Amino acid sequence: MDELGRLPSIGPKSAQRIAFHLLKVSKQDANRLAQAIIEVKERTVLCSVCFNIGVGQTCAICSDDRREGTIICVVEDPRDIIAVERTREFRGRYHVLGGALSPIEGVGPDQLRVRELLERLVPEGVVEVILCTNPNLEGEATAMYLARLLKPLGIHTTRIASGLPVGGDLEYADELTLGRALEGRREVDA
């Protein structure tokens, strides 16, 4: 119960419920869960190109030749990739920043994978970068910061359209809304 209670959004009551559930399940089911936890820690690594979570040197998206290599969708977190993929509106590649600019929390450009993004532009022949950071204060500030870096380089720099709940988190947006926001993306004035 102590261990389960340390998981996100699991309060003491839920921890107790899960613990009692685990007592009841078959040994096989319990082992499968234990094995999955071990595997996620042993096998997964960050993709060396986009910093998505994967099992090899490059993630499934970066190693898929059918994806458009000249459009990069910039997100804060690997979870946002899952949200964008659910929309089925995007067939390019991604770049995971690893967070958003936040002076209060001491997160500056050096703490994010900004340099790694800039280094991808020329070798990959990138023509468009879609700024798909969260529609909150930090996400907007990050998008503006990146737009100011990218636009002078002649990169078509777009931001997902408004319509997403402001202050919200991309990963909780429903696929229809996020899909529309992607489709309606606009050039950023930086």
The residue (of 116 and 175) whose beta carbon lies closer to Zn ion is: 116
Task: Give which of 155, 165, 157, 166 is closest to 185, Cα–Cα.
Answer: 157
CB of 63 to Zn ion, least distance (A): 8
CB of 124 to Zn ion, least distance (A): 11
Which residues lie near Zn ion (CB under 5 A)?
Answer: 47, 49-50, 52, 59, 62
The residue (of 36 and 45) whose beta carbon lies closer to Zn ion is: 45
Evaluate whether 51 touches 95 at the Cβ level (below 8 Å): yes
The residue (of 58 and 102) whose beta carbon lies closer to Zn ion is: 58
Identify the helix (H) or strand (E) that includes residue 48. none
Q: Buried b / exposed e across 171-190, counting CB within 10 Å, b at 16+?
A: bebeeeebbbbbeebeebee
CB of 98 to Zn ion, least distance (A): 13
CB of 85 to Zn ion, least distance (A): 12
| CA dist., res. 29 & res. 92, Å (int) | 37
| CA dist., res. 49 & res. 165, Å (int) | 30
Evaluate whether 188 touches 158 at the Cβ level (below 8 Å): yes
The residue (of 59 and 126) whose beta carbon lies closer to Zn ion is: 59
The residue (of 50 and 178) whose beta carbon lies closer to Zn ion is: 50
CB of 49 to Zn ion, least distance (A): 5
